[in-house]
Amino acid sequence: MAVPKKKHSKMRRDRRRSHLALKPSSPVTCSHCKQPMVAHRVCANCGYYAGVEVKPPEE
């Protein structure tokens, strides 16, 4: 089994992990009501997903 001979510095560790941070998701527009919504979810405004009404809109 491979064992490191020397300790990696904190800077080297953090540089390796620099690409692991989550990026904020950008909202997309609903194809039915043109309101901003989270991607790949049912629109909270009109209840449509991919052009099909999935649930009645919330009042």
Is the pLDDT assigned to residue 57 strictly greater than 80? no
Is the pLDDT assigned to residue 52 strictly greater than 80? yes
d(C-alpha 19, C-alpha 3), whole Å: 25
How many domains in the chain? 1
Q: What are 41's two structure tokens?
A: 């979810």
Question: Residues 47, 58: contact at Cβ < 8 Å?
Answer: yes
* Residues 37-49, mean pLDDT to the nearest whole number: 91
| Residue 59 banded pLDDT, cuts 50, 70, 90 | low
Question: Residues 49, 42: contact at Cβ < 8 Å?
Answer: yes
Residue 29 lies in a domain: yes
* Domain extent at residue 37: 25-51
Which uninterrupted H or E stretch holds 16? helix 10-16
Residue 31 lies in a domain: yes
* Average confidence score pLDDT of the chain: 90
Q: Are strands 52-53 and 48-49 parallel, antiparallel or unpaired?
A: antiparallel
Q: Which residue has the higher pLDDT, 36 or 51?
A: 36
Question: Residues 58, 46: contact at Cβ < 8 Å?
Answer: no
Residue 40 lies in a domain: yes
Residue 4 lies in a domain: no
